[in-house]
């Protein structure tokens, strides 16, 4: 993995464009999620929406991943492979993780959706996961350290009784989907690198109702909670500035 890159003003503009396009794809897909639809249908619509913008689905064939949208349901943490026989049901929570490439630059974001009547504990999990992202990016400012973000996310969730996934982390992003640095969502002893204006980061809390431990599937992609508890995922691509960070995918 190459070193951390500082984006030029032109590169930042291109990443803003990619972020806005991805935001719109998420909004459109969120309107389509309902009981009875298959995860494969979501993936096909996602790819269609991405290509209509003149963009490329960045997940498709990435290290062999066979789809454009990661669709993960209930205890699936991330990287669920869409299938025709995987049908969404009332009461499910469904995480969509999507990336696109536009004019050579990447954008990455994830959302967890409630389908129909979901449990109160599921709604609370989704709320805390999203809130933890915003707690974390309060520290995404030039002059702070990377692990200020990690600590804020991790402690926010741990103090509320949730499990934070350790085996998967956020990342830098730019021309490549996964750039340096890695961004843990759990508390760190070290400070991590100094944050500088022009860094672009994909920050993505993955939070479980139970343990933070996960099980990786034999397909090389699927990942579920070790205890079968619900998991939520919330991610945005952000720009570090000298002041308040800019969220590029909102």
**Is residue 66 helix, strand or coil?**
coil
**Is residue 123 helix, strand or coil?**
helix
Here the tokens at position 113 are 């959706």
Mean pLDDT by 10 residues, the chain (250 residues): 87 98 98 97 98 98 97 98 98 98 98 98 98 98 98 98 98 97 97 97 98 95 97 98 97
- Residue 3: what pLDDT? 82
Number of structural domains (the chain) is: 1
Q: What is the CATH number of the domain that holds 176?
A: 3.90.230.10
- Residue 1: what pLDDT? 47
- Residue 250: what pLDDT? 96
106 is a domain residue: yes
77 is a domain residue: yes
Report the alpha-carbon distance of residue 245 to residue 141 in Å, rounded: 6
pLDDT digits (tens, 9 = 90+) for 134-166: 999 999 999 999 999 999 999 999 999 999 999
3 is a domain residue: no
Statement: the pTM of the whole predicted model exceeds 0.95: yes
2 is a domain residue: no
Report the alpha-carbon distance of residue 247 to residue 202 in Å, rounded: 10
User: How does DSSP classify residue 19?
Assistant: H
1 is a domain residue: no
- Cβ pair 170, 202 in contact under 8 A: yes
213 is a domain residue: yes
Q: Which domain holds residue 83?
A: 9-247
Report the alpha-carbon distance of residue 205 to residue 164 in Å, rounded: 8
By CB atoms closer than 10 A (0-12, 13-18, 19+), residue 117 is exposed
183 is a domain residue: yes
- Residue 2: what pLDDT? 62
Contacts 24+ apart (CB under 8 A), 159-162: 160/128, 162/125, 162/128, 162/129, 162/207, 162/208, 162/209
4 is a domain residue: no
Report the alpha-carbon distance of residue 167 to residue 69 in Å, rounded: 21
């Amino acid at each position: 993995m190459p070193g951390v890159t500082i984006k030029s003003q032109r590169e930042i503009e291109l990443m803003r464009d990619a972020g806005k396009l991805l935001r719109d794809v998420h909004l459109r897909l969120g309107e389509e999620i309902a009981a009875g639809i298959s995860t494969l249908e979501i993936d096909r619509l996602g790819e269609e929406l991405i290509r209509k913008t003149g963009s490329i689905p960045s997940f498709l064939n990435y290290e062999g991943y066979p789809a454009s949208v990661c669709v993960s349901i209930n205890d699936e943490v991330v990287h669920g492979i869409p299938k025709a026989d995987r049908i969404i049901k009332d009461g499910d929570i469904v995480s969509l993780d999507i990336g696109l490439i536009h004019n050579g630059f990447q954008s990455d974001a994830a959302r967890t959706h409630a389908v129909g009547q979901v449990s109160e504990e599921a709604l609370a999990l989704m709320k805390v996961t999203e809130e933890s992202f915003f707690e974390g990016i309060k520290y995404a400012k030039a002059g702070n350290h990377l692990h200020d973000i990690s600590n804020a996310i991790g402690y926010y969730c741990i103090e509320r009784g949730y499990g934070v996934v350790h085996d998967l982390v956020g990342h830098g992003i730019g021309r490549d989907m996964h750039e340096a640095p890695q961004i843990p969502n759990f508390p760190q002893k070290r400070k991590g690198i100094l944050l500088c204006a022009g860094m672009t980061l994909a920050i993505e809390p993955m939070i479980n109702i139970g343990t933070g431990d996960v099980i990786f599937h034999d397909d090389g992609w699927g990942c579920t909670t070790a205890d079968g508890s619900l998991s939520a995922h919330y991610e945005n691509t952000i720009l570090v500035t000298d002041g308040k960070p800019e969220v590029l995918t909102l």
